[in-house]
A and B are shown apart, each in its own frame.
Chain A
């Protein structure tokens, strides 16, 4: 016969909840509540006009989203342009920054004179604070006194208005981002490369495989997990880019180099735009989730194969 266990005292039953309470409260306060508020605010328009302070917002359904995708709306044109820029920026920094990081890792994975110096030189940009690095580049890119144009002019070129020219501004921000991140990605690739046993390369050499064949058939497949990881974080970094823009032309002339997160920051200070700002945030989260999930699914499928 089983003896029924006596009921636990209240304290004992509450104990697990008490233990997770601090975390739960923090998650509720800083994740769940703001997320819910973002969704509800994106469906409302704040009260506007004289004596609007203190009046409740008006429910407008999907109107804020509709306005954002309307080229003739005052924020719509800015949103659409920044949205396109964000996608271009993310694809460009990943497509150029990740291979560059890999290339640097391959070059600096062999014993050579001054190896530490080279590695440090490539890695140190990622140690600099973002805004400091961007300020250095804003000097390099400066039209009349900048380093980049001094070099160009010494070669007989009249110089470029890097941050002031609408066709160059986004490219300038992409260059800074790649410079900042390539060394960081290199560290992951170096770690990955050093985990690959050397003897398989020796075996491949004996079989007559060329350097390129070794890279394509051995290095790349064995770095697959590192590569996927770096691509995922590179995408996430790209969508989170905001600080650099403060020092690099504040989004460029007519938003030609603006990115979504910075556009959100630029428009948050006036109450009338809160509905739009929250709607933009939802779109941005949607894009980041899409990219991250698709990367995750690729990774999973890859693992299961």
Chain B
């Protein structure tokens, strides 16, 4: 045997040993997460990863910050469509379910829940409104609520008191009245962030308050040209045009809380995900209340907001071992546990997604000290499903563009524009029936 051949064999043996060594090493979980607010998400997740690893030897969490929700979805799709590994677990919008299920990239959490001793109790602890987007039409749970939010009304209590209002508006008529009273030359009475590419979420609050959500449990049905849907968008448009309590066309997402904190907006609609940042940053008394009721009624039927935010998704193309899947589920359970949800809710303002978390520190004290946290939780009883359908991205794109054209008065006739959109959407969803 030549020296060269001996060297080759030695090299192969060493390589095999080395790979065996890696296989015995930790299971590494690639965890992708976005951030839609100005919270220090990277620092917080690293803290959770460290705490998890301390308790679970042999599992390493690799947290990867992937930008906005859109960036995260695009990153993951690009990796997977290009044959890459992608994440093992990711926080993505709760409405991304059908897009990813359709591609076969994710697996339902239902199998893991069924294998648990107390799977039923685990799921029942989540607020029902937060489960709506994670379940398919057959009742299978796919994703677990994690970074959840709803829009709520933030108001500058001092400005309201100066103008003689002791309590926040509870219906649209009061909303308009107070907003007009508080509008001055250098201050907006009410900012609704519907500008900047994603009006659908805020718009949905108004559609629900008018009595008709644009989405149902059936992912092939959308109700975008109903009289309620049309009246809702006309109301939002009138805030900037006829009523003049905010900019025509609506406010931009990121500017809205900044303007509120600077005292340049008396009331804003915004996500609960910014609650901590707003409470900590405000130099005035911040009030938080349910989104005002629409014409559907003040008895609770006219309240309503969509839920929002992100769920935990499990990625598997069928190649993962039981040990890996086991480790992945442990991480999902850890992040959705009352302990972490209580910390996450108190640190960020996102709604801790299970009831037990609200009795767990630090959230229990925080909610006691700042009752504003409890408002977002209590509004969940009126909350409804966020928009999601098959071909979500395309259908949502059609809705967003149509809303923008109506809100900026490019389409004067809202009904006509929404009829066109509805026909386009029905054409796309027909492929799924």
Contacts and interface: CB of A to CB of B under 8 A. Distances in A.
B394 interface: yes
Contacts of A266: 397
Contacts of A143: 247, 251-252, 255
Interface string A122-156: 00000000000000001000111110000001000
B408 A164 contact: yes
B248 interface: yes
Given A143-B251, A145-B259, A254 B404 contact: yes
A53 B77 CA distance: 13
Contact of B398 (A74, A146, A271): A74
A142 B249 contact: no
A53 B102 contact: yes
B102 A250 contact: no
A202 to B, nearest CB: 56
Nearest to B431: A49
Nearest to A160: B247
Contacts of A163: 195-196, 252
**Among B262, B398, B408, which residue has the most Cβ atoms of chain A within 10 A?**
B408
Interface in A228-266: 249-251, 253-256, 266
A273 B249 CA distance: 28
B255 A161 contact: no
Given A50-B432, A144-B255, A164-B196, A269 B249 contact: no
A78 interface: yes
Contact of A144 (B73, B264, B407, B424): B264
A155 to B, nearest CB: 13
B264 A145 contact: yes
A267 B397 CA distance: 9
B227 interface: no
Contacts of B197: 249-251
Interface string A160-172: 0101111000000
Given A144-B259, A164-B196, A270-B393, A253 B252 contact: no
Interface residues of A, number: 38
A54 interface: yes
A76 B407 CA distance: 21
Given A53-B104, A142-B252, A161 B247 contact: yes
A153 B186 CA distance: 8
Contact of A253 (B265, B398, B404): B404
Contacts of A255: 401
Given A253-B407, A254-B410, A144 B265 contact: yes
Interface in B147-191: 185-186, 188, 191
Nearest to A143: B247
Nearest to A163: B252
Nearest to A150: B186
Nearest to A273: B394
A273 B395 CA distance: 12
A249 B193 CA distance: 12
Nearest to B394: A270
A145 B262 CA distance: 8
B109 interface: no
Contact of B102 (A50, A153, A251, A253): A50
Given A163-B195, A253-B405, A270 B250 contact: no
Nearest to A161: B247
Given A52-B102, A144-B265, A253-B410, A164 B401 contact: no
Interface in B373-402: 390-391, 393-394, 397-398, 401-402
A272 interface: yes
Interface in B88-119: 99, 102-104
A142 B247 CA distance: 11
**Among A142, A268, A269, which residue has the most Cβ atoms of chain B within 10 A?**
A269
B408 A254 contact: yes
B74 interface: yes
B408 A271 contact: no
B428 interface: yes
A164 B252 contact: yes
Interface string A25-59: 00000000000000000000000111011100000
B401 A272 contact: no
B258 interface: yes
A144 B410 CA distance: 22
Contact of B401 (A50, A144, A249, A254): A254
B431 A164 contact: no
Nearest to A153: B186
Interface string B395-433: 001100110110110100000000010001000100110
B22 to A, nearest CB: 28
Contacts of B81: 271
A232 B103 CA distance: 42
Contacts of B404: 253-254
B258 A164 contact: no
A271 B103 contact: yes
Given A164-B196, A269-B73, A142 B99 contact: no
A165 B248 contact: yes
Given A48-B431, A74-B424, A153-B186, A166 B410 contact: yes
Given A144-B247, A249-B252, A272-B391, 9 more contacts: A52-B102, A54-B104, A74-B428, A145-B264, A146-B255, A164-B249, A166-B410, A270-B391, A270-B394
9 contacts: A53-B103, A143-B251, A145-B264, A164-B252, A250-B197, A254-B410, A269-B77, A270-B394, A272-B391
